[in-house]
A = this chain, B = another copy of it.
Amino acid sequence: MKLVSTWKPAESAKIAPEFPNVQWVAVKEEEDVLREVADAEVVFGHIGRDAFLAARQLRWIQNGGAGVEKLMAIPELVESDVVITNTSGAHVDTIAESAFGMLVYLCRNFKRLLQAQSDHVYIAQSDYRGVGLAGMTMGIVGLGNIGRAIGLRARAFGMKVIAVNARNTDAPDWVDRCERLDGLPDLMAEADVVVVCAPLTPLSRGMIGPAEIGRLKKGAYLIAVSRGGIIDEPALISSLESGSLAGAGLDVQAIEPLPAESPLWDAPNLILTPHCSDISDRTDAATSTIMQDNLRRYVAGEPLRNIVDKQVGY
């Protein structure tokens, strides 16, 4: 059985030796992918449409991350019998940590504190204000693995958690309320901080538009750590500039890499990071574990984990 891996070579090389009966071909350049994929049964990592069309024996794609919207953009793949699995769950701890880091950065006014340190200025206590997280209500948009990881931490921080979710509304008992997407307007109005954890799908694209942002409380916070394109960025910037929103954190943007001319760079009270909230020493290890386990299952003919529902896109 031939497996073509376009995934991180160093990590890929750790898994391959465990599977001596798998013909493991690690490739990087697009022309090599096109050639090697022709008789491959399995792909680890991402492939584009041309490679997919060239892969006549393909049965399974193990994506290298959680989000599969780029694979979903290949109609022939969506219509085919090829199974897609993702690494959902591998990144959740690191993403949740990053989300909390952004939230505390904003609430504790770290920007001012860091500037003062840089200037060697010891701000008087009477001249500093901070906002407490305990007692806040967090609204989670998309209560999947990431949303749950963030919500669990929010609970430990003394926050109330409410959520909306597209696919189902099963929620742990520490979630105060979980509704379908029609509950979004109420969530936006009630939450002190809204965290966007939803996958990018036709349903979620542009879902947090001007009307939704307009429903946020004065002094609320908005954080996005899943995919860009869900939040309307011009509306977010307006809300930051007017002072209606107290702050925002965007690890993901509608266009990545973010263009030099984007007004997001200088929006007030916005912390902007380059889609890196998932990157840590732990994430690579957890991703490898999922991939290894799935390949073991595939070889043994057992059901795979993390199968993507191609009808909904995650």
Contact = CB atoms under 8 A, between A and B. Distances in A.
A301 interface: no
Contact of A120 (B124, B156, B265, B280): B265
A60 interface: no
A124 to B, nearest CB: 8
Contact of A93 (B105, B158, B276, B281): B158
Nearest to A136: B282
B276 A132 contact: no
Contacts of A260: 120
A276 B128 contact: yes
Nearest to A130: B280
> How large, as a class, is the contact surface on chain A?
35 or more
A271 B115 CA distance: 11
Q: Which 5 A-B pairs have the closest CB atoms?
A: A101-B104, A132-B282, A156-B156, A93-B134, A132-B280
Interface string A269-285: 00111111101111100
Interface string A91-110: 00110111011001101101
Nearest to A282: B132
Contacts of A122: 256-258, 274
Nearest to A251: B113
A156 B151 CA distance: 10
Contact of A273 (B94, B117, B132, B134): B117
Among A97, A116, A131, A158, chain B packs the most CB atoms within 10 A around the CB of: A97
A38 to B, nearest CB: 28
Nearest to A260: B120
A97 B93 contact: no
A142 to B, nearest CB: 20
Nearest to A276: B128
A48 interface: no
B274 A113 contact: yes
Among A123, A124, A152, A274, chain B packs the most CB atoms within 10 A around the CB of: A274
A153 interface: yes
Nearest to A135: B282
A101 B283 CA distance: 20
B98 A281 contact: no
B271 A133 contact: no
Contact of A281 (B131, B256, B272): B131
Interface in A26-54: none
A129 to B, nearest CB: 7
Contact of A105 (B101, B158, B265): B101
Given A153-B157, A156-B155, A260-B120, A97 B275 contact: no
A157 B97 CA distance: 8
B93 A265 contact: no
Contacts of A242: none
